[in-house]
Amino acid sequence: MIIDFYKLISLLLISGLVYIINIKLFRSTYEKVEIHQKYSTDFLGNPMGGYVIFLFVILFKFYLDYLELFFFFIIFISGILSDIKIFNSPIKRLFFQIVVIIASISLSEIGITSTRIDFVDYLLTYKAINIIFTTFCVLIVINGSNFIDGLNGLVIGYYLIILTILFNSDLNIDLYFESNMLINFAVVLTILLVANFFNKVFLGDNGSYLIGFLFSIYLIRIHQINTGISPYFIILLLWYPCFENLFSIIRKKMSKILATNPDNSHLHQLFFLFILKRIKIENKLIANNLTSLIINIYYFSIFFIGVQNFNKTNVQLILIAINLIIYICLYILLNRFKKNLQK
């Protein structure tokens, strides 16, 4: 059976129970929309996405061993504490993530070993350097996933597209998982995507951290097993959350703003504002979903070209360069549009 209906039904039933308990305990906390979130929504609802994904990880064994499951759990819990405003300090969360990622990488066979740059690859043969480099990359993906989680369906849709692209490739993507586990994961993400579009379920910090951690580890392993794959294909797949993170740090530094301070100047927020004000779609929910859809359609087209040439570094670099040029040009234009509105 391709889709395991029994496990999926169990997942939905348990998630429903958790939803009820969660909303009873923390409803007042979830309804507080922070300033940087008001661009796209007036109500955040229940950040159940992370709970559903973590329950999926347990039921479908989306982990190598119990040690890896433990690290997934720790990342998940840190996100929950952030969602309920207990773990509020970004610096403390960042330090905590670094410790967890270093421990996870050090105690496993995970590591980035190839960049196709001889000098860098030589340095990566040293265990300590490899751990530091891999930790940095995973950290960027985790927090980048959180950064782009500002529109309905943007993060869930983005990672669902990555799965869809991998399904249609010649790569070994099953790794050590149970047969058809990834198809079931795609089904769960699709359900979450629909619920997210209708403002019923959100990822929250627990979901965005967890999905970023899951996919970064998973894609590193895909690169380790598929020896012919260009490392830049993996970079292409994770480019958006990674660049959003790095670009945000740079622009805040240039504006003399603390990198840890949230704001409403991410590209997806500026694009949402443009659709809301310029195209004049008055319904926030429709504008929110439309913005997310346009962004993800763009990345689907880029990934589709990339997966046809997953072993060709030059093609991957061209696609990454296209992403970079489009991002920067769009950001300049949309930021100028925002400033004109404020005059």
The residues with which 46 forms a beta bridge, in sequence order, are 201
Closest CA to 162 of 61, 235, 67: 235
Mean per-residue pLDDT over the chain, rounded: 88
Cα-only R_g, the chain: 20
Tell me the angle at which helices 90-106 and 66-83 cross, rounded to the nearest 10 degrees.
170
Structure tokens at 291: 């913005």
CA distance 154 to 202: 11
Residue range(s) defining the domain that contains residue 159: 5-342
pLDDT at site 118: 93
Q: Which two tokens stand for residue 226?
A: 């598929």
Helices marked H in the chain: 5-30, 49-59, 66-83, 90-106, 118-123, 127-147, 154-167, 181-197, 204-225, 231-237, 239-254, 267-277, 284-308, 313-342
The answer to whether the pTM exceeds 0.75 is yes
Does the pLDDT at position 204 exceed 80? Answer: yes
Q: What is the mean pLDDT of residues 210-226?
A: 93
**What confidence score (pLDDT) does residue 282 get?**
78
Confidence of residue 119 (pLDDT cuts 50, 70, 90): very high
3-state secondary structure at position 211: helix
For 12-30, what is the mean pLDDT?
A: 77
Residue 333, SS3 per DSSP: helix
Residue that is written with structure tokens 């308990």 in the block: 21
Residue 66: which pLDDT band, with cuts at 50, 70 and 90?
confident
| Alpha carbons 159 and 102: distance in angstroms, whole number | 24
Q: What is the DSSP letter of 178?
A: P
Residues facing residue 193 across a β-bridge: none
What's the total number of domains in the chain? 1
Summarize pLDDT for 37-57 with one digit per residue, the tens: 555 555 556 788 899 999 999
**b (16+ CB within 10 A) / e for 89-106:** eeeebeebbeebbbbbbe
- What is the greatest pairwise CA distance in the chain? 60
